[in-house]
Amino acid sequence: MRGTPAGMASPHPLGGQLPAVYADDDFAQRFVEGLDVVLAPLFNVLDCLESYFTPALAPEDFVDWLTTWVGTELDGTEPLATRRIAVAEAVSLHRVRGTRRGLSNAVQLAFGVRPEITESGGATWSARPLGPFPGSPSPGLRVILRVHDPSALDPHRLHAVVAAARPAHLPFTAEVTHLLTHRGT
């Protein structure tokens, strides 16, 4: 929460800019001093405007606004450091959106864990025509998030992150499971 810091002086006091007739008018000078108190924080914000758009320096409430402005896949419950990283990396995440890497990065940013991703498709080439097609004939995507305590994560949140970051044409499943169920352990 921001407000007027005590003792903040305006870098451009209005009293000295009044016409000469008001230079010795005590009421006019006190009146514009009150305006200086109101304007000083505005000048301060304008002087520091670049830092408001620098995720590492911006105030927390402004970072929250920036997360919505740049289209991050956060819900606002993440730690401040995670929200700052999401804003800073938003452009690079949007650049790879809809790819395996983009999906993996979005899930890892939201949950702090790299997911397992299984896709149905594939790509190959052949020197001879009529070769076999790679992948599965039915499209699909499966995202598994293995964590120590699955009850601590919201599966609906995982579903929302995957839905936003996946290739638009692929149906998908997303699940949160216990870390120890990985490959028979």
Residues 7-55: tens digit of each pLDDT: 777 777 888 888 888 888 999 988 988 888 888 888 888 888 899 899 9
172-178 vs 141-147, strand pairing mode: parallel
| 62 or 136: which leads in pLDDT | 62
Chain position carrying tokens 């690079």:
92
- pTM (predicted TM-score): 0.68
Query: What are the sequence ranges of the domains in the chain?
Result: 18-47, 99-180
State the Cα–Cα distance between residues 167 and 97, nearest whole angstrom.
8
What pLDDT is attached to residue 120? 87
Distance of CA 132 to the CA centre of its chain: 42
CATH (residue range 99-180): 3.30.300
What pLDDT is attached to residue 137? 79
Question: Average pLDDT, whole number, for the chain?
Answer: 86
| 67 or 130: which leads in pLDDT | 67
Burial class (CB in 10 A: 0-12, 13-18, 19+), 110: buried
